[in-house]
Structure 1
Amino acid sequence: MAKTIKVVRKKDPKKKNQSDPLAKQKLIWKIGHVLTLVFGLVFSITYFYHALIFFKYRSWKWLFLRVNKNYSFIQSRKWYMKLLGWSPQIMYRLSLIGVFMSESVTMQQNWVGLNPTWSDLLSSENFHSVLIACLWFFGGGKSFYKLLPFMILSYLHLTKMNYELNADKEKSIPVTPRDKKLLHLLAYSELLVILALTLDTILFKTGTSGFMLIIYVGIYWLRLNFSPYAQVTVLELLVKFEKYVPKQHKSKWHVIKNFVYLKMKEHEKRTKEVARYA
């Protein structure tokens, strides 16, 4: 009778040290969204506190429009107190760094093995978010309303994290009524940014407000062409305010409505084609 030979497989130490690149990407994605949400919320607290005590650093003689640049919240010259004074700026930047982390991973997963063109990138909502985050990161001024869309988006992703990271790509992620409301709030908050930047430009709040408004409107134009929730929200607003439009301008109003509606239909058609050939 032949003897049986027991094969013992030795563990390769090199394989043991190798980590799963997909697991790393998931971790970066989660950390990015957590950074955006947590530091965005903490920054928002400091922002509203700063807004509540506006009478301390704005002159009532100028109807609170003029800012006293010599006013400082922290009078101490100690290094840790100075660091505390810089903390809102640091938290604001960390929140945007979280956007870069999460969106870069998402784009890498969407375009893995492909060579996207500029047309593909400009039609990507994730790329729009990166462009806006770059604008806020390098542009002047820091505000709650600039971070609000990113915080809402991060909250939605984190609440659907198990579906997004573990579910099959062929299965659609369930959307609850609360998610729909948050998506509407997200779209309205992006429009709020345009309004706030317009006011900043009119009031000469910063020297870069006008440039940032022009750049942001350009990015939002891409949003309006390729983002379904932005299209739905803008169309709803157009329908709501249609009754206030004078009769002589009704035709122009309908042209704008038809444009947004056609963009919605194009997006639906494009989505069906992608699903068919996926």
Structure 2
Amino acid sequence: MAQTIEIIKKKIKHSKKADPLAKQKLWWTIGHTVSFVLGVLFSITYFYHVLFFYKYRQWKWLFLRLDRTYQFIPGNTWTATIINFLPHIFYRFSLIGFVLSGSISLYQSWAGVSPSWYDLFGSGNFLAIFLAAVWALVGRKSFYRLFPFMSLSYMHLMNRDSEIENNIKEEEKATLRNAKILSMISYSEYLVAVALFFDTILLKDGTSGFLAVIYYGLFWIRLNFVMSAQVTALQVLEKIEKYTPEKHKHKLQIVEDFLYSKMKKCQNMTMN
């Protein structure tokens, strides 16, 4: 009797293909969470140093001279070194988190399209990513430089579901709810501009002039292409106009006309 050979076919379990969109959503959430949480931690350390400024500034010089030997936790141990270095880590990685999440948003916006440099520099998101990368790589720590990014991350996280689902109506409602935060972000940009100006004049560090040129260049681009920057500039001019002599008001009017013309161009581009 011939023997029969039974062939058993093993079922090959096909692994589920990873959803690239789900990964992007995950990294987007992680990036904004890192940006906000580490930004808050850095802010705590920043304001602690502000409150106790007399510990690291010399009173003999009217607190204008910095005592560079000051350490938050004195000593040369590994623990003291790590703790003293934590604010640097919080600051840099908070910005890196924003760059990560912002890059994902930018990628999704331009997926399947090859944008020109003109298109990118006309995008507020790209300018924010570029500036966050500059702050992360160069320059000293500053709460005012970090505030816009951690605030934007907070807004994105609070509005996470509608942004992921691309619910435009809910996004518009969220923008109205966070109008005060957006206004604070816009005004903080002017504080950074003023701070960079004085840092450059006072030679506070070797990168101030370099960063000022980059920042003012980006600021000019934002005034040309980003409507929120134009609106804030008009609000600032409106407040300045109250204290401007009559003979100089025509100069402010020229600037206002320029901003209104740019706003109209932005509106036309949005409608088209």
Q: Give the TM-score normalised by the residue count of structure 2.
A: 0.91
Deviation of 1:142 after TM superposition, in Å, equals 0.3
Deviation of 1:128 after TM superposition, in Å, equals 0.4
Partners in 2 of 1:83 and 1:184 — Cα distance?
36
Partners in 1 of 2:11 and 2:241 — Cα distance?
71
Contact 1:131 1:219 in 2 (8 A): no
Contact 2:96 2:133 in 1 (8 A): no
**Count of aligned positions:** 262
Q: Which runs of 5+ in 2 are unaligned?
A: 1-9
Instruction: Compare 55-64 and 199-208 and name the one that shifted more.
Output: 199-208
2:3 counterpart residue number: none
| TM-superposition CA deviations, 1:192-230 (whole Å, max 9, x none) | 111222222233321211221121011111111122211
Partners in 1 of 2:154 and 2:12 — Cα distance?
41
RMSD: 1.8
Query: 1:67-216 counterparts in 2 under 5 A?
Result: 67-168=66-167, 171=169, 173-176=171-174, 177-216=176-215
* AA at the equivalent of 1:47: Y
Q: Is 2:44 the counterpart of 1:58? A: no
Q: Which runs of 5+ in 1 are unaligned?
A: 1-9, 274-278
| TM-superposition CA deviations, 1:138-190 (whole Å, max 9, x none) | 21200111100001111111111110001356x56232543111111111111
Secondary structure of the residue that 1:244 maps to in structure 2? coil
Instruction: Compare 22-31 and 217-226 and name the one that shifted more.
Output: 217-226
Deviation of 1:11 after TM superposition, in Å, equals 8.4
Partners in 2 of 1:149 and 1:83 — Cα distance?
27
Partners in 2 of 1:201 and 1:178 — Cα distance?
37
Secondary structure of the residue that 2:191 maps to in structure 1? helix
Partners in 1 of 2:156 and 2:210 — Cα distance?
31
Distance change (3 Å), C-alpha of 1:81 and 1:174 = same
Partners in 2 of 1:11 and 1:244 — Cα distance?
81
Contact 2:124 2:226 in 1 (8 A): yes
Partners in 1 of 2:27 and 2:49 — Cα distance?
32
1:3 counterpart residue number: none
Partners in 2 of 1:162 and 1:196 — Cα distance?
37
1:13 counterpart residue number: 13
1:228 counterpart residue number: 227
Partners in 2 of 1:45 and 1:168 — Cα distance?
34
Deviation of 1:58 after TM superposition, in Å, equals 1.0
Deviation of 1:15 after TM superposition, in Å, equals 4.3
Partners in 1 of 2:150 and 2:265 — Cα distance?
28
* AA at the equivalent of 2:206: G
Q: Is 2:12 the counterpart of 1:28? A: no
Instruction: Compare 177-186 and 110-119 and name the one that shifted more.
Output: 177-186
Contact 1:25 1:105 in 2 (8 A): yes
Secondary structure of the residue that 1:174 maps to in structure 2? helix
Partners in 1 of 2:126 and 2:160 — Cα distance?
20
Distance change (3 Å), C-alpha of 1:242 and 1:11 = farther
| TM-superposition CA deviations, 1:49-86 (whole Å, max 9, x none) | 11111111111222211111122222222212211111
Deviation of 1:14 after TM superposition, in Å, equals 3.6
Partners in 1 of 2:185 and 2:12 — Cα distance?
49
